[in-house]
Structure 1
Amino acid sequence: MDMPTERFALRYSELGEKYGPITWLVVPGRTIIVLNTYDSMYEILERRGSNYMDRPRAAMIQELVGMNFNTPMRQGDPTWRLHRKLLRPALSPDAIKRNYSELLIAGAHRFVKRVIREPETFRASLKRSLGETISDLTYGAHEDDQGNDYVVKQEELLVYSTLAIAGYLVDLFPLLKMVPGWFPGAHFQRDAKKWREHMTELRNLMIEGVQKRMAANEGRSCYVVNMLEDLQKVKDETGADITEDIQAVYDSGFSFYQAAADTTEIGLKNFLLAMTLYPVAQARARQEIDHVVGARRFPEFSDQGDMPYVHAVVLESLRWNPPAPFIIPHASREDNTYKGYFIPKGTTVIPNVWQISRDSTIYEDPSTFNPDRFISNPNILDPRDFVFGFGRRVCPGKYLAYQTMWMFVVSTLWAFELEKPEGEPPLDKDTDRFDFGFLNSPRPFECNFIPRKEAIDKILVAE
């Protein structure tokens, strides 16, 4: 009964305070350990990563909804290894800057333009701009020639996925998946059928869209197109069978939106909220941008090396509120021991990364948004070392997430001054700022965007 049903990260932290770095829980049909320190996460999930590379069985989302093809949800099998083999070079820092810089800049500019026109809808504009950017980067488009809006359909699927992963009785008792949908109480079967149909339709739409554009020689540089062209070259040169690789490209590509959209959006909402609450940090970041960029041109990725404080702002936005506060759980493949504790095969391992962000032995005054901590202490723990996961399951898109956030952050501060509206609550406590769900989003807040005339004039003229 100690297993939390709400405010998960906070409850997991309370368990850590009571029982120490590793807490053992038993629920029907499952054994669970919760890790609450960076050292325990690093030792178990990083150094022993080969034993903790699987995922716990989740009958609802993996089997009934059918998301078991999705890279983050797959078990650590040969197909998952193929996904990682494809994703690693395609999402390396050099590949991102070489292939996707223009897409990321265009996405940031779209956000700025939307806020200029409708500042009161900045949250919707951020979601839409990020969605278009991720879809363009993955498939080369965010809609097809029939008017199907990939972003809207992906957002609907994200809602379904969140509901499916939130926990159904069938996850504890997988045999229930044999119960027919018409049976009383089997609403989960009806939910799963509806969500699976939506997901299948969306996958087919986006794959067919890519195939049509490539056949018409209209395929823009994007992950799926680039990978398919590379595979075709391999086939032409060696005659290799690339059928399995093509399917892996489609499946891993479909994972982009599911893995990146909400988490990157939360990271940027962290930034916007922090700028309204900590105007001194905002002023210092803008001063650096003005010094390096000025108002006569747009910020570019080549400016990154000259903006250490903006880099620190992005890191602190990730540290201040990790978007996935306990990431996707791991599962042990074989029996193991840690500091005398026996961890049986099949144990679910939950790393509570929120607690790392609030560990005062690592981060002084951890609830305060303070980018200076990354300037004054170069050896401090980089949040990218825990926010994006551990070991074999570390997110392959961690560099893409950082670069996307950096471009949106620098473009926003180049174009606007951000201000907390009068009458807004002070939001002094973490519990006032964040909702502590499966994804820890900032609670709804307001923000005034004050245009900086020279920058705004330039971006509007460029339309």
Structure 2
Amino acid sequence: MDRPFVVLALFGAAALVVARLTRRTRRPLPPGPKPRWIVGNLFDMPSDSQWMRFAEWSELYGEITYVEVFGQPIVILNSLSACKELLEKRGATSSGRPIGIMHELMNMHKVRAGMTSMQDDPFWRYERRLTHAAFGPQSVQEYYPIQEAQSVRFLQKLLEPDVNCKKELRYAIGQTLFEVAYGLSPEQYFDEFMEMSDTLLRSFLEATIPGKFLVEMIPFLRCFPSWLPGAGFKRYAEGVSKVSDRHSTIYFEMVKTAWKPPIPPDEAEEALKWAAAFMYLGMYSTNMSAQGMTLVLRIAGIDTTDQTVAKFIIAIQTHPDAQRKAQEELDRVVGTGRLPTIADRDDLPYLQALIKEVLRWHPGVATGIPHRFTQDEVYKGYLIPKNTTQYRNIARQANDGTLLARPDEFIPERFLHTDPGFESLPDPSEIVFGFGRRVCPGRHVADGTVFLMISRLLATYWISSPQDKDGQCPDVQIDWSGVDAVRYVHAVRLAYNAHERASYPNPMAPRFTPRSPGAIDLIKVADTML
């Protein structure tokens, strides 16, 4: 970065810090590492492995950690109890979002980022009601045929020789959520769509990392022209903005024209009855709600759902006992003459426990999307100042040794009602999908997709480790260290490619062996039974 630019930025930051230092509080701030002058804890916030640093701080400072970056207060909630108290019981004051300047520069605010980056205002509350109507427990039943069809397609692809499991899984998840959002499956646009989704998700998460972009701490830097040395953040944002515009507008306009005549009215009506995008078109005077809602469904939903199923595939390779128990339960309850459906879920307690353990085991997002406190709050005697940015230490909560025995191990039995202490265990779905007003709006869609994918894989295939050049199946070892809050979301995807982690084989090139000739026949004809 250009030296004059840095000097000017530091002067601006100093003014902000001095203003904050003149404010006296009657209550102590939460504990945390000692800040430096002007920059605060900027150099304590690593660009890599943030979630690991947060975990270290939790051991030193307890369930809540306080830091400042250029005068901006930040708290990290390390415990489940702190999240429940501050995000659920006090949701009225903890549901704001940080004022994301980079998000605005990247044009994500134009489509409102599907409630994700919106403030807790009347417009957001309106969209929240619409989203819950579209994706609530009752509404999602309309999407089951879509989810079932794509799960069958994935099973059929796995019968092909030299199948790319990673690619086919991501395709199946993406097609599922695209049809849920739009009511159609435009295969000719899919590769471009997925590439843009990856770009937007990565950019969105990067913009939430404290200290990643100086303009977030010193807002007037946004006025600098993009050609100025040191203003690379603006050039970066302009590139993402173009992707955001095409991603949110072209696809939505494509859908609006896709169901015009000569498609028969009854066919169009059948296709649109579950298309959430069109629900919004009839309920709000602009297209903004529909664009934003479907944006978050496509971007976040595809990635996190894909990660969950991929984690299952990786975990089950090294836990054959868990795989065998789940398959025995499926054979006993469902039988071998049909595929499991959502209606079978309540009768499959072990499978449900296994899925909960998959969610808990290395959750796909390490720190979540930050909140902002809109008023001063006091928690256990500590002051949390107004406009404090808040992060949830999801990775720590999912592996809390005070609540879980052997948290580093994959043990589905911990979530069976017969396990001692079951009632006191944290619900992994709650940890992963969030709390209070900011709970993930698409969680019920994700639940259904994950259940169908995992249950049907187990019903038809035996999943084992990939073979090495000698025909052996070595243990799959995954190193999660060195993965930051952004790349943590892609950690499973990084594990897809053996050359990226020389210490272990490619866990997303497993062996899918049909369980029986009958299983092969069932897979081949399953699409005719939908």
TM-score by length of 1: 0.90
CA offsets 1:427-457 (integer angstroms, 9 cap, x no match):
56x7458945433433334221112332222
Deviation of 1:412 (Å)? 1.0
CA offsets 1:66-103 (integer angstroms, 9 cap, x no match):
21211111111211111111011211122112x10011
The within-5 A match list for 1:217-256 is: 217=265, 218=268, 220-221=271-272, 222-228=274-280, 231=283, 242-244=284-286, 246-256=287-297
- Flag the 1:435–1:417 CA change in 2: closer, same or farther, 3 A: farther
Q: Distance in 1 between matches of 2:426 and 2:289?
A: 34
State whether structure 2 residue 179 is matched by structure 1 residue 136. yes
On the 8 A contact 2:278/2:290 being kept in 1, the answer is: no
CA offsets 1:38-57 (integer angstroms, 9 cap, x no match):
11111111111110111112
Tell me the equivalent position of 1:298.
339
CA offsets 1:251-287 (integer angstroms, 9 cap, x no match):
2122111221111111111111110111100111111
Q: Which residue type is aligned with residue 47 of structure 2?
A: T
Q: Distance in 2 between matches of 1:121 and 1:148?
A: 15
Tell me the equivalent position of 1:27.
69
Q: Using the TM superposition, name which of 334-343 and 154-163 deviates more.
A: 154-163
On the 8 A contact 2:249/2:291 being kept in 1, the answer is: no
Q: Which residue type is aligned with residue 135 of structure 1?
A: F
Q: Which residue type is aligned with residue 383 of structure 2?
A: F
Query: What is the DSSP-based 3-state SS (H/G/I as helix, E as strand, rest coil) of the residue aligned with 2:375?
Result: coil
Query: What is the DSSP-based 3-state SS (H/G/I as helix, E as strand, rest coil) of the residue aligned with 1:181?
Result: coil
State whether structure 2 residue 513 is matched by structure 1 residue 450. yes
On the 8 A contact 1:21/1:36 being kept in 2, the answer is: yes
Q: Distance in 1 between matches of 2:395 and 2:413?
A: 20
Identity in percent? 31
On the 8 A contact 1:52/1:331 being kept in 2, the answer is: yes
Q: Which residue type is aligned with residue 243 of structure 2?
A: H
Deviation of 1:347 (Å)? 0.5
On the 8 A contact 1:132/1:151 being kept in 2, the answer is: no
Q: Which residue type is aligned with residue 63 of structure 2?
A: P
Q: Which residue type is aligned with residue 45 of structure 1?
A: L
Deviation of 1:419 (Å)? 0.6
The within-5 A match list for 1:312-323 is: 312-323=353-364
Tell me the equivalent position of 1:362.
403
State whether structure 2 residue 258 is matched by structure 1 residue 213. yes
On the 8 A contact 1:132/1:142 being kept in 2, the answer is: yes
Tell me the equivalent position of 1:92.
136
Deviation of 1:119 (Å)? 5.1
Query: What is the DSSP-based 3-state SS (H/G/I as helix, E as strand, rest coil) of the residue aligned with 1:386?
Result: helix
Which structure has the larger Rg?
A: 2
Q: Distance in 2 between matches of 1:147 and 1:264?
A: 17
Q: Compute the RMSD of aligned alpha carbons.
A: 2.3
On the 8 A contact 1:293/1:299 being kept in 2, the answer is: yes
Q: Which residue type is aligned with residue 176 of structure 1?
A: L
The within-5 A match list for 1:341-380 is: 341-375=382-416, 376-377=418-419, 378-379=422-423, 380=425
On the 8 A contact 1:29/1:173 being kept in 2, the answer is: no
State whether structure 2 residue 204 is matched by structure 1 residue 161. yes
Tell me the equivalent position of 2:453.
408
Deviation of 1:177 (Å)? 1.2
- Flag the 1:418–1:434 CA change in 2: closer, same or farther, 3 A: farther
Tell me the equivalent position of 2:21.
none
Q: Which residue type is aligned with residue 511 of structure 2?
A: N
Deviation of 1:159 (Å)? 4.1
Tell me the equivalent position of 1:9.
51
Q: Which residue type is aligned with residue 126 of structure 2?
A: L
Q: Distance in 1 between matches of 2:129 and 2:407?
A: 37
- Flag the 1:144–1:288 CA change in 2: closer, same or farther, 3 A: closer
**Partner residue of 2:116 out of 67, 72, 91:** 72
Q: Which residue type is aligned with residue 409 of structure 2?
A: T
Q: Distance in 2 between matches of 1:146 and 1:19?
A: 49
On the 8 A contact 1:214/1:225 being kept in 2, the answer is: no
Q: Distance in 1 between matches of 2:61 and 2:202?
A: 34
Q: Using the TM superposition, name which of 133-142 and 204-213 deviates more.
A: 204-213
On the 8 A contact 2:252/2:291 being kept in 1, the answer is: yes
On the 8 A contact 1:289/1:307 being kept in 2, the answer is: yes
Q: Using the TM superposition, name which of 63-72 and 155-164 deviates more.
A: 155-164
Q: Which residue type is aligned with residue 381 of structure 1?
A: P
Q: Which residue type is aligned with residue 183 of structure 1?
A: L
The within-5 A match list for 1:45-194 is: 45-60=87-102, 62-68=103-109, 69-70=112-113, 71-97=115-141, 99-118=142-161, 120-143=163-186, 149-166=192-209, 167-194=212-239
Query: What is the DSSP-based 3-state SS (H/G/I as helix, E as strand, rest coil) of the residue aligned with 1:449?
Result: strand
State whether structure 2 residue 309 is matched by structure 1 residue 263. no
- Flag the 1:119–1:326 CA change in 2: closer, same or farther, 3 A: farther
Equivalent residue pairs, number = 449
Q: Distance in 1 between matches of 2:193 and 2:303?
A: 15
The within-5 A match list for 1:193-204 is: 193-204=238-249
Q: Distance in 2 between matches of 1:230 and 1:188?
A: 38
Deviation of 1:171 (Å)? 1.9
Q: Which residue type is aligned with residue 322 of structure 1?
A: P
Q: Which residue type is aligned with residue 154 of structure 1?
A: S
Runs of 4+ displaced beyond 6 Å:
144-148
On the 8 A contact 1:158/1:258 being kept in 2, the answer is: yes
On the 8 A contact 2:152/2:526 being kept in 1, the answer is: no
Query: What is the DSSP-based 3-state SS (H/G/I as helix, E as strand, rest coil) of the residue aligned with 1:372?
Result: helix
